Amino acid sequence: MKFGSSGVRGLASELVGRPSGLYTEGFARRLRSTGFRQGEVFVGRDLRDSSQTITEDCMAALAASGFQPVDCGPIPTPALAFYARLHGTAALMVTGSHIPADRNGIKFYGPKGEIDKQDEAAITAHVAELSDRYPWPPAHADWQTGHEQALAVFRDRLDGILPPGALSGMKLGVYQHSTVARELLVEVLRSFGADVIAVGKTEVFVPVDTEAVGRETMAKVKDWMREFKFDAVLSADADADRPLVIDDKGELFRGDLIGLATALFLKAEIVVTPVTSNSGISEAFGFSVRRTKVGSPFVIEGMDAAQKAGGIVVGFEANGGVLLGSDCQVNGRTLSALPTRDSFLPILAVLGTMASTGKSLSDLRETWSLPVCASERLENFPVEKSRGLMRKLADRDALRQFLAPFGTLADVDETDGLRARMTSGEIIHLRPSGNAPEFRCYAEAGSHDRASEIVAMALERARDATLADD
């Protein structure tokens, strides 16, 4: 177990019980050291099998530490974070987000919002200090609940983003699978006048990674597109902080396109986004662009710095999660800042853009004419192998040899992993996942087929290179 790009994660079997209590106690100590010594802490969870048990462990640990846990039940992460922000209190979300069902995690929020890397380091230090002497188990109880209240205030936030009836005439599919947003997303889209058909609901947990959507998922969506003639299919990952958008042709509307649409919809003046986002997202769109490492803590840090310049600050990641760094005016109302990943705002922004322009998603993609991107991952790829490969490729001669089948290396950006630009203009970005045993590749090229081919070849070479070292 360790902190990755967002929260602490590990095997569910290693998190249930004492470990979840230990990390919660580390969080409680960090809260006290920063001046938040008592009061309510809101706790939510996703729908994977282990989340209920881990949630109960976390609430028991919070109570033992002198805080008052409020059980917000299964709830989208952005809704929980917004509710906590309104109350000026802390929160804790039990979710493994997009990672497989046998894994899980915990996301932590202080009174000012999502914790940063300094907070993570402090919590990790407390865990190490307490590991041999943390008492377990504390007493479990029936906790105060806040599920309906939290959803109500989040729903009110969403109601003001678009005008009444803004989505009238649209036929939309909502892929429900096991996302905690599955009922709320249907309700919200219908409230704006859309004809919504819910598809694919399952009681078996389905990990959906919006950066690397599986072939099986895409095949299902294409079948629904043919059957229902949707204008778009919408969904989210397990805890609903990453949107999934499929266009009218049954193709993935990538997360960085979603982020771009949201930034334009909100009339952003500064955009903060990781180096993995499409390189075509630039000042040409009318906003300043600042690039960061991958992970919401880095984007939030970048947004905090950007706010000193004033103006509307929007952050987004290549997975589509949008972070709103400043208050802004939308539809005649103030949309307050929410500096944590959210799937609902970008989904409504994309659909609102379709409605206001009269263009389909595939038309919008062509209008923006960005480089074509693709991404995929090697699953169950041990962290040690990822680290070993990256150490090896840090040598420029080794990297040139690795990339030889793709052409000649021009330069490398080492902000997060190795982002190689070839003399052809193509980009090949290699990086280990920050929160799972996975190795990722992102590519940009002139066509989807070429970008996908680069990703497949690069991941095959990564697998072969590590096998050769065994």
7 and 131 housed in the same domain:
yes
Token pair, residue 324, equals 């709103």
pLDDT value for 470: 59
Q: 185 versus 436: which is more confidently predicted?
A: 185
Is 49 a domain residue? Answer: yes
Average pLDDT over residues 124-149: 92
pLDDT value for 83: 98
Average pLDDT over residues 337-366: 96
* Strand stretches in 163-321, DSSP E: 171-175, 195-199, 232-236, 243-246, 270-274, 288-292, 313-316
Task: Tell me: pLDDT of 440 over 90.
Answer: yes
Average pLDDT over residues 445-456: 94
pLDDT-derived band at 280 (thresholds 50, 70, 90) equals very high
How many domains in the chain? Answer: 3
Strand order in the sheet with 270-274: 288-292, 270-274, 313-316, 322-324, 338-342
Token pair, residue 109, equals 């929020």
Task: Tell me: pLDDT of 4 over 80.
Answer: no
pLDDT-derived band at 435 (thresholds 50, 70, 90) equals low
Could you write out the DSSP letters of every residue in 377-411? EETT--HHHHHHHHHHHTSHHHHHHHHGGG--EEE
Residue 286 CB-density burial (10 A; 0-12 exposed, 13-18 middle, 19+ buried):
exposed
Is 154 a domain residue? Answer: no
**What's CA 287's distance to the chain center, in Å?**
23
Could you write out the DSSP letters of every residue in 55-82? HHHHHHHHHHTTEEEEEEEE--HHHHHH
Alpha-carbon span 371 to 189, nearest angstrom:
30
182 and 319 housed in the same domain:
yes
Spatial contact of 432 and 439, defined as CB atoms under 8 Å apart:
yes
Q: CATH number for the domain including 359?
A: 3.40.120.10
Strand order in the sheet with 243-246: 195-199, 171-175, 232-236, 243-246
Token pair, residue 334, equals 């103030």
pLDDT-derived band at 328 (thresholds 50, 70, 90) equals very high
Q: What angle do CA 28, 238, 43 make, to 5 degrees?
A: 25
Of 345, 368, 391, the residue at which a domain comes to its end is 368
The catalytically annotated residue of 5, 97, 279, 326 is 97
195 and 315 housed in the same domain:
yes
Task: Tell me: pLDDT of 78 over 70.
Answer: yes
Average pLDDT over residues 179-186: 97
277 and 320 housed in the same domain:
yes
122 and 12 housed in the same domain:
yes
332 and 451 housed in the same domain:
no
Q: What share of the chain is helix, strand, coil (3-state, %, to 5)?
A: 40, 25, 35
204 and 324 housed in the same domain:
yes
Is 164 a domain residue? Answer: no
193 and 282 housed in the same domain:
yes
Alpha-carbon span 11 to 61, nearest angstrom:
20
Of 368, 403, 428, the residue at which a domain comes to its end is 368
Spatial contact of 239 and 182, defined as CB atoms under 8 Å apart:
no
| Domain enclosing residue 393, as ranges | 372-469
Could you write out the DSSP letters of every residue in 136-172? -PPPP---EE-HHHHHHHHHHHHHTTS-TTTTTT-EE
Residue 140 CB-density burial (10 A; 0-12 exposed, 13-18 middle, 19+ buried):
exposed
pLDDT-derived band at 100 (thresholds 50, 70, 90) equals confident
Alpha-carbon span 315 to 339, nearest angstrom:
8
Alpha-carbon span 232 to 250, nearest angstrom:
8
Task: Tell me: pLDDT of 258 over 90.
Answer: yes
Choice among 6-10, 339-343, 362-366, 464-468 with the minimum mean pLDDT: 464-468
What 3-state class would DSSP assign to 114? strand
Residue 66 C-beta-side C-alpha neighbours within 13 Å: 8
Of 100, 116, 149, the residue at which a domain comes to its end is 149
Alpha-carbon span 256 to 266, nearest angstrom:
15
41 and 110 housed in the same domain:
yes
Average pLDDT over residues 317-335: 94
Is 161 a domain residue? Answer: no
Neighbours of 201 (CB within 10 A): 14
Choice among 1-10, 44-53, 436-445 with the minimum mean pLDDT: 1-10
- 277 has catalytic annotation: no
pLDDT value for 309: 85
pLDDT-derived band at 90 (thresholds 50, 70, 90) equals very high
Task: Tell me: pLDDT of 434 over 80.
Answer: no
Largest interatomic CA distance in the chain? 63
Is 156 a domain residue? Answer: no
Residue 464 bridge partners (DSSP) = none
pLDDT-derived band at 456 (thresholds 50, 70, 90) equals very high
| pLDDT > 90: percent of the chain | 84
Average pLDDT over residues 358-365: 95
Alpha-carbon span 115 to 40, nearest angstrom:
17
Spatial contact of 24 and 90, defined as CB atoms under 8 Å apart:
no
Average pLDDT, the chain: 94
pLDDT-derived band at 105 (thresholds 50, 70, 90) equals very high
Q: What angle do CA 239, 301, 100 make, to 5 degrees?
A: 25
Give the pLDDT confidence of 214-231 residue by residue, as tens digits.
Answer: 889 999 999 999 999 999
Position 229, amino acid = K
- Peptide bond before 137: cis, by omega within 30 degrees of 0? yes
305 and 228 housed in the same domain:
yes
Task: Tell me: pLDDT of 42 over 70.
Answer: yes
Average pLDDT over residues 23-48: 95
Is 155 a domain residue? Answer: no
Is 158 a domain residue? Answer: no
307 and 354 housed in the same domain:
yes
Q: CATH number for the domain including 421?
A: 3.30.310.50
pLDDT value for 160: 94
304 and 393 housed in the same domain:
no
Is 160 a domain residue? Answer: no
